[in-house]
Amino acid sequence: MMGRKLASVLTVEVGDKELLEVVVMILLNLTPGAAEIAGIVYETIMLKHQCICGNHSNHPEHAGRIQSIWLRLQEKGLVSACERIQGRKATLEELQMVHSEYHSLLFGTNPLNRQKLNIRKLLAHLGSVTQNFFTALPCGGLGVDSDTIWNEMYSSSAACMAVGCVIELASKVASGELKNGFAVVRPPGHHAEESIAMGFCFFNSVAITAKYLKRKLNIGKILIVDWDVHHGNGTQQAFYNDPKVLYISLHRYDEGNFFPGSGAPDEVGSGPGEGFTVNIAWTGGLDPPMGDVEYLTAFRTVVMPIASEFNPDVVLVSAGFDAVEGHASPLGGYKVKAKCFHFLTKELMTLAKGRVILALEGGHNLTAICDASEACLYALLGNELDPLPQDVQLQKPNSNAVASLEKTIEIQRKYWKSLRQYPSKVDLSLNDIQSLDREEMETLTAMASLSVETKHRHSQEESRTPDEPMDEEPAL
């Protein structure tokens, strides 16, 4: 209403382009430069998702995770450098973009509202499912399984808020109102399947957001990068036959012996979605554990070539930080430095005009997840860190990583030209690659110079008249 009243009293000269742009921004409740601002979202209601036993030591996924991250980002002045977005709870309609009706009703409504539902209809749905949704835990609380706790009063609100926060942030980035953003949310979501809650997850926030962006904002192509140390089985399931959503996951696999056991390299999608699921399935256990070099090599040889060829309109990141050093197996076991995720984020920011949204997934060592969150937001704000340490630049990826990447490349090159055009160079150090790049650039420059020189000489010869002597007449 205010916009229409304002428009009715403003007259703008057609040729005054700058004034017209300012008026349009005012009418859209925007300010000049708004698209250059990073967004951040966090709501305290998500802290209330706690086991009724009250003992955090029994439950690695607890409120202290996001509380610690938020405090760290505030202390470092990073929150004040962002535009804070107002979160909201996802609606049942939004939840059902990915999840079944009964799953959405069971986990997406509080006890008072649940009493108003058609319980008979709900129970009819539940009767066809083999999963035991609520079970008594040794600590005295309730859970969907031994890991995934349930609080009858607060869990549904927290889970719906996590989804809604990611949707709100991603919508503002996708529409150009914000440059990029970071969602500090819990419970995580990437393990949640259509009708199954598992692995601390109830609703798949990133998958629902991708569906929302496609249906409500008509976003054409979406890239989901999942760097949580555990495979996002729920996200893969949601888009397994969808060619408009490219899902790339880097995860510990160990031949299916690491939770959740899915994400083999030959799981590539089906039907029209074949080739649009890319699993970098690390194998070999912890002998040695994967680290910075292996993740940077994966981005250089697989993630970025495929992502660039796909050319997404928006990038969503399932930003789990349990690959960061400090997480013992089975919650991790790898040795990636927190700052490495700064460089991975910067790489992704070269895609989709920088429209990148990070949503927190796993990660349970508080220092590790705070450090990694800080590094990622630092990147989203356009700040630079010190260059990679010299030892990282000189180190080659370990043999298990090379074998894993070569397996993925062998399978995926059928679908992606970028993996067929050049040798993969998987077993080289960053320093080796940079040297090769310099040599190739020098060779190309020399060839280009030679081509120009040859073309110039031919041009001179063609412009010479028949009677005009050459520069050097042959001796008689």
Question: In the structure encoding, which two tokens stand for residue 166, read together?
Answer: 């990611």
State the CB neighbour count (10 A cutoff) for residue 171.
19
Residues sharing a CB contact under 8 Å with residue 23, sequence separation 6 or more, in sequence order = 7, 10, 12
What is the rounded CA–CA span in Å between residue 401 and residue 289? Answer: 9
458 given a catalytic annotation: no
Beta bridge partners of 180: 38
**Beta strands of 164-288 (E only): which ranges?**
180-183, 222-226, 245-252, 277-282
**What burial class does residue 187 get, using C-beta atoms within 10 Å of its C-beta: 0-12 exposed, 13-18 middle, 19+ buried?**
buried
Point out the catalytic residue in the list 49, 59, 103, 191: 191
| 3-state SS, residue 83 | strand
What is the strand order of the sheet 83-85 is part of?
A: 83-85, 38-41, 180-183, 356-360, 314-319, 222-226, 245-252, 277-282
Of 405, 462, 377, 33, nearest to 184 by C-alpha is 377
Report whether 368 contacts 324 (CB < 8 A): yes
Of 186, 183, 281, nearest to 232 by C-alpha is 281
Report whether 419 contacts 265 (CB < 8 A): no
Residues sharing a CB contact under 8 Å with residue 232, sequence separation 6 or more, in sequence order = 190, 191, 206, 226, 247, 249, 251, 263, 318, 361
Question: In the structure encoding, which two tokens stand for residue 451, read together?
Answer: 């081509």
Instruction: Show which residues are catalytic.
Output: 191
